[in-house]
Amino acid sequence: MVKKSPVISVTVDAVVFGYAKTEGVSVLLIRRKYPPFKDEWAIPGGFVLEDESLEEAVKRELREETGISVKYLEQLYTFGAPDRDPRQRIISVAYFALVKTARFMALKADTDASVAQWFNITELPALAFDHKHILEKAIQRIQAKLRYEPIGFELLDKKFPFSDLERLYVSLLGREIDRRNFKKKMLSLEILDELDEYARNDGAGRPGKMFSFNKQRYTQLQKEGILFEI
């Protein structure tokens, strides 16, 4: 007897982390318009169409459900528990991205989403499906990757005081850091250019020097086999 092939659908989900130095880290969520989990919060995503790649699908779903376009999305993990979706057997390929929240404040929900909204990572609502698990996996990946790749510089201004870099790492890691050792290690990598400029004084002590990330220098270090490790 020939076994009938199972019917399995594929979806994509996008965990988009936003960052602002005043608010810290946020996550982009949508409120579902239709069952299952109608009116509950979820990670943006949906079914992959027959004529599109996974990357095309996740970017389309973000545009449709939130109104934003993200240039860079990195594949996170594939989630395939048999009971993860009450409708049918569905495998989801999840992606994650880091963006500056200020660039994406004009959110526009459509298709399967009634609302799109940023939530501070410390004040998240209950999530539909297994999206809490997906989000936790994405947080773990970001925190691990932050230690061996300079991904955080994408979230800073082109010129920044060192205190902004420290604040970024504290926000993304979710804990305090040894600031003295952190600065010593970061400067020893020689991927920061110290500028002949000072941060605007807010009245709290002396203004600090401004820095910029030397991406060309980092690329050269990579070629030489020198590891970025914090």
Same fold, 9-147 and 151-223: no
**8 Å CB contact between 72 and 26:** no
Domain boundaries, the chain: 9-147, 151-223
At residue 208, the pLDDT reads 85
| Residue among 122, 118, 147, 126 at smallest CA distance from 228 | 147
3-state helix, strand, coil in the chain (%, to 5): 30, 30, 40
Average pLDDT of adjacent 10-residue blocks, the chain of 230 residues? 80 96 94 97 97 96 95 94 95 96 93 96 96 97 92 91 94 92 92 91 72 94 85
**8 Å CB contact between 29 and 43:** yes
**8 Å CB contact between 3 and 85:** no
Q: Was domain 151-223 assigned CATH 1.10.10.10?
A: yes
At residue 5, the pLDDT reads 73
Pick the CATH number of 9-147 from 3.90.79.10, 3.40.190.10, 3.50.50.60, 3.40.50.300: 3.90.79.10
At residue 202, the pLDDT reads 59
* 90 three-class SS: strand
Asked whether the CA dihedral 11, 110, 117, 37 is positive or negative, the reply is negative
